[in-house]
Structure 1
Amino acid sequence: MNRWLRHHRYALAVALRRLRLHPFSSLANIVVIALMLAVPILGASVLQSSQPLARQLAVAPELTLFLKAGTPPTAQQALLARVREEAGARIAQARLIPRDRAMAQLRADPTWARALDALPDNPLPDALIVTLRDSAAPAREAADLAQAWRQWPEVEEIQLDSEWVRRLESLLSFVRMGLGMLAGAVVIVVLATVFNTVRLQALTQREEIAVARLVGATESFVRRPFLYLGALTGLAASLLALLLAWLALTPLNTILGGFARSYGLDWAIRLPAAPDLLLSGLLVALLGAIAARLSVTRRTRF
């Protein structure tokens, strides 16, 4: 056990020494990887912070069922009871708005009062307004209910007030897909950058590696410092990417905060949770080690 720890301590010390011996090239590689990592971190921050914003934005999705002219009050009450019974827990509220009450509400607004006085009779239909509960896919839920309720004989037309929800869901789905593709690009950049860096390191250390092999160094002993070099490069790039993302969020939140407050919203973009950031940093370090392993496998055999 002590021998194993001593070997890994030695490999880590060699990797740190090689980073110090080539500070400019090491820093350039770290900056390149960090810039690529900062973009998905910012994207994940926006996506995560947009979830509560969707709940703060307007009201829950509503469906307005316009009833056919001449539907008697008893049939309207029966329809209201049927909606509550069949929709069940999916709805938060269902209320009936008779045409006379709707007209009275419009007449109470001075903007509409004069225009309504010119009408010979009440043109408004009786309406049933259904407010849905919050769910994972409110737009799809509203569309399914509307499709079922359109088949009812008392319903003339249904208006969905959830178009904004559908658009927001589409936008968030697009962002998730974009982040997935960006994560794939980051993996390629990390692998290619670390692979090329370690390959150049191995070429410059050919004589040192050859001497080590002559005195009995094993393949794993020679390769281990390069693996630590790749892992340290990925870890340093992750820390720098986190710092860059944090610095970028400061001016962004200043601008977005004022914009959100003008709409009565409290919104700020925050970095993902610490466990997620730690896991992503470890994954990048692992990718660096894998790239180094692929690079030195054929370069250290003499």
Structure 2
Amino acid sequence: MSLLFGNRQTSAGARQRQKLPWYRRLLMVPVHHLQQAVGSLGELWRNPFASLMTMAVLGLSLTLPSALYVLVKNTSAVSGEWQQASQMSLFLRKDIDSKTIETLRTQLSLKKEIETVSLITREQGLEEFREQSGFGETLDYLESNPLPDVLLVIPAEEFRSPAKAEALLKELEQAREVDFGKLDLQWLQRLQALLDLAKDIMGGLAILLCLSVVLIVGNTIRLNILSQREEIVVMKLVGATNAFIQRPFLYTGVWYGFVGGILAWFATAILIWWVEGSVLQVSELYQTQFQLTGLNLNEMLMIWLIAILLGLAGSYLAVRRHIRSIEPR
């Protein structure tokens, strides 16, 4: 017996419920919803293959945007670790003493826009240049050190975008102790452009795939409604309202999203596990300790909620159109 015929007793007993006290009728509302939710789950269990196919399509459709989100999140984490991309070099004037330099360094470190400030003295700079250039003996002929003292400034995380980093550099160059500043802005702009492109691609694909999920669920519910057309006619003849008849189909869409969200979790986790080994090999080549980060609990719950809402939206679009069009003749 179908789900709708299983609800005929509830519809037929409507007059009896009207005689109950108001608080009893209020308590019966969640009970009836629970009955229809469990009944819709039982209906899905009677057709496990078709139901599982729809759930798998929903889950796999959400897997791609979830995997892209993980990719963008890890890329953003890597870019956050590349502090040298937004690192500023402030070349100081040669006529200032070490006390003035230390005072400037302390002042800059107190700014909210700056995370860290480190000093490379002219002696350290010359020694580093001697080791890396291979002109050690030639530098011995210099009468004085031509290099200035340099302050390496790393902006705070919220000031590492190209526009904010450039504005901060111009502000720091106004200090009287600073001769000029340098920022590899072109590299920073390229990095930000790549991240923005990845986010735009992820957003576009997510929207398209979510729309496809809504259409797939809506078409599946539409076929279910058409297959139970005669039962719906009988339900309306015994006094069932459209809202009462729609409810089991809406819960069916919720169950599609509920299970589809879980499948999306597992599929995303498998993809992360699949590429994790390759990521470790690449990080070893670059001598870094980067580890691929998957979905955390809040992100998993968000994907689950989106899947349920998509299933509900698809079923709602189907039942609102087709249930009302079915009327007894």
Q: Which TM-score band (shorter chain)?
A: 0.7 to 0.9
Q: Deviations over 1:215-264 (max 9, x none)?
A: 22222221111001111111121111111111111121111122213333
Q: 2:152 aligns with which of 82, 106, 130?
A: 130
Q: 2:282 aligns with which of 244, 251, 259?
A: 259
Deviation at 1:139, TM superposition (A): 4.4
Letter in 1 for 2:117: Q
1:217 equivalent in structure 2: 240
1:92 equivalent in structure 2: 116
Deviation at 1:192, TM superposition (A): 1.0
2:23 equivalent in structure 1: none
Q: 2:208 aligns with which of 175, 185, 189?
A: 185
CA spacing shift, 1:217–1:104, aligned 2, 3 Å: closer
Query: TM-score, normalized by length of structure 2?
Result: 0.75
Deviation at 1:13, TM superposition (A): 4.0
Are the aligned partners of 2:280 and 2:290 in contact in 1 as well (CA < 8 Å)?
yes
Q: 1:171 aligns with which of 181, 186, 194?
A: 194
Instruction: Quote the RMSD (CA, aligned, Å).
Output: 3.3
Once the two structures are superposed, the pairs formed by residues 17-28 of structure 1 within 5 Å of their partners are 17-28=42-53
Are the aligned partners of 1:45 and 1:271 in contact in 2 as well (CA < 8 Å)?
yes
- Structure 2 distance, partners of 1:222, 1:46, is 43
Deviation at 1:131, TM superposition (A): 2.5
Are the aligned partners of 1:234 and 1:281 in contact in 2 as well (CA < 8 Å)?
yes
Once the two structures are superposed, the pairs formed by residues 270-285 of structure 1 within 5 Å of their partners are 270-285=293-308
Are the aligned partners of 2:155 and 2:165 in contact in 1 as well (CA < 8 Å)?
no
Letter in 2 for 1:88: L
2:273 equivalent in structure 1: 250
CA spacing shift, 1:191–1:110, aligned 2, 3 Å: closer
Deviation at 1:267, TM superposition (A): 2.5
1:64 equivalent in structure 2: 89
Are the aligned partners of 2:109 and 2:117 in contact in 1 as well (CA < 8 Å)?
no
Q: Deviations over 1:18-38 (max 9, x none)?
A: 424444443332222222200
1:227 equivalent in structure 2: 250
Q: Deviations over 1:53-86 (max 9, x none)?
A: 3454455843223456xx4244x86466446436
Q: 1:40 aligns with which of 56, 59, 65?
A: 65
- Structure 2 distance, partners of 1:101, 1:268, is 34
CA spacing shift, 1:263–1:64, aligned 2, 3 Å: same
Letter in 1 for 2:207: G
- Structure 2 distance, partners of 1:129, 1:16, is 66
Letter in 2 for 1:184: I
- Structure 2 distance, partners of 1:191, 1:240, is 17
- Structure 2 distance, partners of 1:209, 1:148, is 72
- Structure 1 distance, partners of 2:38, 2:127, is 83
Query: TM-score, normalized by length of structure 1?
Result: 0.81
Are the aligned partners of 2:63 and 2:264 in contact in 1 as well (CA < 8 Å)?
yes
Are the aligned partners of 1:187 and 1:287 in contact in 2 as well (CA < 8 Å)?
yes
- Which range is displaced more, 247-256 or 27-36? 27-36
- Structure 2 distance, partners of 1:136, 1:80, is 26
CA spacing shift, 1:282–1:86, aligned 2, 3 Å: closer
Q: Percent identity?
A: 24
CA spacing shift, 1:264–1:108, aligned 2, 3 Å: closer
Count of residue pairs brought into register by the alignment: 297
